[in-house]
Amino acid sequence: MHVAIPLYPRFTALDAVGPYTVLAFAPGWTVTFVAADPGPVGDDRGTLTLTATASYADLPAPDVIVVPGGPGTLDALSDEALVGWIRQAHERTRWTTSVCSGSLLLGAAGLLSGARATSHWAILDLLRTYGAEPVTERVVTEGRIVTAAGVSAGIDMALTLLARATDPETAQSVQLAIEYDPQPPFSCGSPKTAPEGMAERALSLIT
């Protein structure tokens, strides 16, 4: 199974690296970072780069796409090289997935019309722009499209995908291998549980 993760300026690192870590551990799975041109691409903090080792043209028909999100997503919506690649590659994928605001790029590619989908809570309603039905779930599966909520939800999405594409035991073995056993120190990972005023403070960190 060949997975392609497209990179674009100001993507959020964990959106890409979380699913990469899960899927790269899976036996028989290969993960490739792609971009318009091979080379380094900077994340949204400006301090970390990942290297795309292939171009979109080099990998036109991956088995799986994982589209990360990040502050750079809004600019990327007008990047026809990226959006066009998603649209065309989706015709032959087994699974097309996104993390966080990456679902907006699936929408821009015309893949979410009439579909349930999720994204980061801060931009969830923007999915309506593309005819999607926004839902506040951590992972949403609609046929062969799987969307994840914000950032860390990409790990959950990748494990969900792996279980569906192979079997639950494979996904469980990867989960154990990476010791993914969330025990957050605060019950503050959702607007539903966050203290009053915390959403505004959180938004100031990501805008």
* pLDDT one-digit tens code per residue, 190-206: 999 999 999 999 999 98
Cα separation of 45 and 206, whole Å?
10
- Residue 76's pLDDT is 98
Positions in the chain whose pLDDT score sits under 50: none
- Domain CATH code at residue 109: 3.40.50.880
State how many domains the chain has: 1
- Which amino acids are annotated catalytic? 100
Evaluate if pTM is beyond 0.85: yes
Contact 15, 99 (CB under 8 A): yes
- Residue 207's pLDDT is 74
Which residue range is the domain that position 84 belongs to? 2-206
> What are the residues whose beta carbons fall under 8 Å from the beta carbon of 96, sequence distance 6 or more?
64, 65, 67, 86, 89, 90, 106, 111, 144, 145, 146
Q: Are strands 145-148 and 139-142 parallel, antiparallel or unpaired?
A: antiparallel
Burial tier of 141 (Cβ tally within 10 Å: 0-12, 13-18, 19+)? middle
